[in-house]
Amino acid sequence: MQAIVYKKYGPPDVLQLKEIEKPIPKDNEILIKVHAAEVTKSDCEMRSFKFAVKWFWLPLRLALGITKPRRQILGGYFAGEVEAVGKNVLKFQSGDQVFGCAGLRMGCYSEFICLPDNYTIVSKPNNINFAQAAAVPLGGLNALHFMKKANILSGQTVLINGAGGSIGTFAVMLAKHMGAQVTAVDSAIKEGMLRRIGADHFIDYNKNDFTKSGKSYDVIFDMVSGNSYSACVNTLKPKGCYLMANPRLSDMLRSVITSNFTHKNVIFAFAGEKEAELLELKQMIEQEKIEAIVDKVYPMDQVVQAHRRVETEQRLGPVVLSLVS
């Protein structure tokens, strides 16, 4: 089978299409023919080993490989079809169309992958294709996790900073579904798409700093590392909630003080990517309460271009890799 492999850290050009041995499922595993995989910002960071949040560097270097990557096939989110199951697997059967998460095991940039049957994998929504389904788990699960943590009520004001990426697009749709007035912050090229999926207001961060606008919000969901913690907290209304998706270590420590000694709440708890939440997203997609956004789909032999597209931050939603000819 074919897979996209990288044997050293570096720019997108380190990714190469190679022929490797097809895996065989263990007793508790399923063999999945991967149709599509999302190309995420995390994939790009792991490939280059350059992280926006610096405190990730040492633990991830130890876990993933000090001098070269231990796991040489990227990709944590996929959609595909079950080809075979291990003898102890009862949950899936051959022919099931599924989507889900491979976690730090990764490996979704390949035509086939074996994963344990207890991973976050569920049947694909019946009203979207494989490329759209692959674009759901990362953004959908993280956005749903944080929007639930904020306990958003109908009529509240929610600002989403970094709204045009994988997580941000789902956050816009989910906050709107919960009844919020949504302000999206991103670059100007993303305004049309963000308004189409539900943003009531838009701020171009190249022209305006939302923390200096004089407006305040019930909830701020911030996916952009490096913002001023104090400025964001000061932009909250009384009893407001600040959600940090890419927190610095200093901000994590400050959040404890803010949450315990002021009338504002700061949350940085990371998403567990649970099966029940993916099933909830599937149901919302099938009921057309939210949709799966895809910027572009690239074939396997254009994975370098796909990574460059993600790194430029010009994408309008998730970028997806097609693994079928």
Alpha carbon distance 204, 210 (integer Å): 9
Domain ranges of the chain: 2-136+292-322, 139-267
Question: If pLDDT is split at 50, 70 and 90, which confidence band does 95 have?
Answer: very high
Name the DSSP letter for residue 104. G
Q: What are phi and psi of 203, to 5 degrees?
A: -125, 125
CB atoms within 10 A of CB 84: 17
Alpha carbon distance 75, 29 (integer Å): 18
Q: Tens of pLDDT along 214-265?
A: 999 999 999 987 789 999 999 999 999 999 998 888 888 898 999 999 999 9
Check pLDDT > 70 for residue 63: no
Give burial (CB, 10 Å; 0-12/13-18/19+) of 195.
middle
What is the homologous superfamily of the domain 139-267 according to CATH?
A: NAD(P)-binding Rossmann-like Domain (3.40.50.720)
Average pLDDT over residues 91-110: 96
Task: Give me the chain's average pLDDT, please.
Answer: 94
| Helices marked H in the chain | 41-48, 57-64, 130-134, 137-149, 166-177, 191-196, 229-234, 249-261, 275-286, 303-312
Question: If pLDDT is split at 50, 70 and 90, which confidence band does 149 have?
Answer: very high
Give burial (CB, 10 Å; 0-12/13-18/19+) of 307.
buried
Check pLDDT > 60 for residue 56: no
Q: Hey, which residues does 161 pair with through a beta bridge?
A: 185, 222
| CATH number given to 2-136+292-322 | 3.90.180.10
What integer pLDDT is reported at residue 88 of this predicted model?
97
DSSP run (H or E) holding 181? strand 181-186
